[in-house]
Chains A and B, each alone.
Chain A
């Protein structure tokens, strides 16, 4: 058992582990809506589009997390606004915004001397550099987002599943959609430290997609997804500790592996069982 406890003797590993688990759970839960509402591209775009916020905060010597937070909210509102107008298609609007903001962020960061190191931390996360303060902020934001999702569970469910019913019972669908975008933005910001801009999308989509294959109701899907997210985060950090690979990448690879197993062997929906059933039918 020592190999399990050894890494945790370092306080930076403890903090990294705690932050990873929080992010793993948070991404996995909100990821259920990302998967069910087809917002995967949006989540990815949002992650890239907050880069300028981080760069500006860095240049002004402010808190990077706050910079990211402000940028994320602006981006969420901008995407919501652009895609509501209907003059250009939603994915086009997102694509333009995301590429432009990313370029702006890279341009700003390239003016910083030590930019190679900082940029790689932003892109791929630096879970071992999580400070006491970062951890508190991560936990606080996670509680805020998760509490909102729990409190508005039935409202988000109806708006996602049946917009017509939502309109019938006078739910403010547009505002709920905006709120979901903002929650997504907060999640992305919180994830920067551990998995980085480049891999947030995977943490949003992969555990939720796996849970979708394994469950048949939204609440169990969220719990299963959260468990997969937490497990991937823990296993990924151990992997990165012992075989010395980038932690964010290790986390995402493990989540991907779990997805593949579920995709092949999930009860009833797994590809393997479907193949066997089809084969039997042909022979029968």
Chain B
């Protein structure tokens, strides 16, 4: 693992506290991510991973602290941050096609009262191509497999042309092809200097495929290079009694969503 160059931080989180229905979920979270970095967000269920992402897209208000993108407060640039939701959060019975969903990624740049133009259609076609779902453009989203559904939302994030991309559990309950496609996408985004944050239960992926790891449990337990974060001490602190050591390998008994067990 090479040391990251000291680029100016492009995503800065300063002492943020986020509450949900009055109860603080995350307290006093601070970290800085240089641009183009891939960060894995790891922690037990209920650690506040999704909450952090929702605050970063502006869906949950900050109780304290601030979020700076390119040194400017959140909301200053319209399309800076894109978010790929967990599959359970989407209404799959809604009457929209794959191309419709991907086109929604362009809405932010389009603004009020404007219809999609040539550039937008080209961006959608490119994103579909890149995620290998060009042939599914006219399919209703409800008729797709789990992996295809995931790729639709990845394509939408691409069409958004974001500077910061947040993905909530993209490796949960998807087939190997989709997992590979997602990892491949991470490589491409790195070439485009897009900062990516991915929440995952897969500690192995987090340790091997990401530049930095953010270990969360209602606060920042550790943040930095995978080898400095994944110490026995930090992992036990984040996961508590749900961690066990076998021949020096940490095994986390973290209850995952049911379909992750099924794999496919």
Contact = CB atoms under 8 A, between A and B. Distances in A.
Interface string A100-135: 000000000000000000000000000000000000
A151 B81 CA distance: 26
Given A157-B104, A164-B89, A217-B100, A170 B110 contact: no
A36 B54 CA distance: 24
B158 to A, nearest CB: 14
B31 interface: no
Interface residues of A, number: 24
A281 interface: no
Contacts of A165: 83, 104-105, 107, 156
A168 B57 contact: yes
B263 interface: no
Interface in B63-104: 75, 78-79, 81-83, 85, 89-91, 94-97, 100-101, 104
B108 interface: yes
Interface string A153-194: 011011011111101111000000000000000000000000
A218 B99 CA distance: 13
A98 interface: no
A201 interface: no
Contacts of A83: none
B58 A170 contact: yes
Contacts of A155: 107, 112
A158 B104 contact: yes
A151 B94 contact: no
B75 A164 contact: no
B95 A216 contact: yes
Contacts of B89: 164
Interface in A33-53: 36
A266 interface: no
Given A157-B104, A164-B54, A165-B104, A170 B78 contact: yes
Contacts, number: 68
A18 interface: no
Contact of A169 (B54, B85, B90, B107): B107
B186 to A, nearest CB: 20
B59 interface: yes
Interface in B106-165: 107-108, 110, 112-113, 140, 156
A259 interface: no
A139 to B, nearest CB: 24
B75 A217 contact: no
Interface string A138-154: 00000000000001101
A221 interface: yes
B79 A218 contact: no
A164 B21 CA distance: 17
Contact of A168 (B90, B100, B108, B110): B108
A217 B108 contact: no
Given A157-B104, A158-B104, A162-B90, A168 B96 contact: no
A222 to B, nearest CB: 10
Interface string A80-97: 000000100000000000
B140 A164 contact: no
B211 to A, nearest CB: 24
Given A165-B104, A167-B57, A170-B58, 13 more contacts: A154-B107, A161-B91, A162-B104, A164-B54, A164-B57, A164-B83, A168-B81, A169-B108, A170-B78, A212-B95, A217-B97, A218-B95, A218-B100
The 6 closest A-B pairs by CB, nearest first: A169-B108, A167-B59, A216-B140, A168-B57, A161-B94, A221-B95
